[in-house]
Amino acid sequence: MDNIYYPFEAEVTDIKKETPTIKTFHFKLAKPVTFKAGQFMQLTVPGIGEAPFTPSSRPGEVQEMEITILKTGRVTDVLHNEVKVGDRLGLRGPFGKGYPIDKFIGKEILIIGGGVGLAPLRSLIYALFDRVDDLKKISICYGTKTTKDQCFKDEYDKWAAMPKTSLNLTIDVLCPDWEGTVGVVTCLLEKDRLDVDVRNSYTVSCGPQIMLKFVTIKLMEVGFKPEQIYLSMNRRMSCGVGKCGRCNIGPYYLCKDGPDLCYADIKDYPNVFD
């Protein structure tokens, strides 16, 4: 029997600095892993502990994987400060259900990301690009504090050039090197700016909890129904299999039923956004 708590080896083969606080780690895996966009991994820094991350690379059966990480706590501090190319870390997973891509077929998809929240969405974006013929439209909205905080900058042109795809960026604070939209990400969702057939689309959002809250409010305001809104929720996690008891929203455990949940399923439970 496999031991669910045992991490298999993952060698760091490259570290790319995305922003001053975000790095993308490239891993070579000791065994092939099949994951769906939105499913997450538990990354072990030996002797330090684990933290959950959704890979930012193309899903499928893979021997290599990218994980984009914001420096923000005990495990990620070590990842940013001490881990170097050649180090052997551990991985468990994949866990969770991932995004319901089959549901998206024939629809317009509105992707809303904030900060490092674009990382899991990048994996979804790749998955959607692979099936772009089956989709009506892919609209990507991405907000960051400044231009310095934008992840995957060198891929934006490629994304925008994909058929049926649009990319809209915004920054919270005006920067000298910026000529685009200024304002939090919800400003891209105003009725007059949003070029989306509301009745025939799904939205997927990932970012800090406060962003998810106001994105949801805005989406409802412009006519989306809770059934059309998917959110990558954030909760502390440990086991990954719905046993350790902490990552729940109502009766749903994010680690095994999520982490991407439909707003319609969770909206009536306590502590969804606060």
Partner 1 sequence: MKVYFLPDEKLKELIKVLKGLGKVFWSREREITSARESRTKIKIEELEEDAIQDYRIPGFRSYDSFKTFLLPLPSKVAEYPDDEWIDIKNIKQKTVLLGLKACDLCAFSLLDKVFIEDPEFIDPFYKRRRQTLILITSDCTRAGKSCFCNLLGRTPYVTSNFDLNLSEIKDGYLIESGSEIGENILKNLSPVESNEEQIQERDKNRKNVMEELTAQNADFVEAFSNPDILVSEGYKSEEGWNLGRTCVSCGACTNVCPVCYCFTLFDRSQGEGKKSKRFRVWDSCQFKGFSQMAGGLNPRFPLMEQFKNRYYHKFFRFHERYNEYKCTGCGRCIDNCLGDIDMREVLSGIKIEREKVNG
Q: Footprint of partner 1 on this chain (CB under 8 A)?
A: 1, 3-7, 9, 44, 46-51, 72-76, 88, 90, 208-209, 234-236, 238-239, 241-246, 248, 250-251, 256, 270-271, 274
CB of 112 to partner 1, least distance (A): 19
Q: Whole-number minimum distance, CB 85 to partner 1, in Å?
A: 18
Nearer Cβ to partner 1 (177/268): 268
d(CA 241, CA 248): 12
Q: Kindly state the smallest distance separating residue 47's Cβ from partner 1, in Å.
A: 3
Nearer to partner 1, 22 or 188 (CB): 22
Q: How near is the Cβ of 77 to partner 1 at its closest, in Å? A: 9
Please say which residue, 135 or 215, places its beta carbon nearer to partner 1: 215
CB of 49 or CB of 60, closer to partner 1: 49
- Work out how close the CB of 188 gets to partner 1 at its nearest, in angstroms, rounded to a whole number: 24
Name the residue nearer to partner 1 (CB basis): 108 or 257: 257
Q: Which residues pair with 25 in a beta bridge?
A: 15, 67
Cα–Cα dist 258/192, whole Å? 32
Q: Which is nearer to partner 1, 69 or 188 (CB)?
A: 69
Shortest Å, Cβ 247 to partner 1: 8
Nearest approach in angstroms of CB 211 to partner 1 is 12
Q: How many CB atoms lie within 10 A of CB 70?
A: 20
- Decide whether 100 or 242 has the Cβ nearer to partner 1: 242
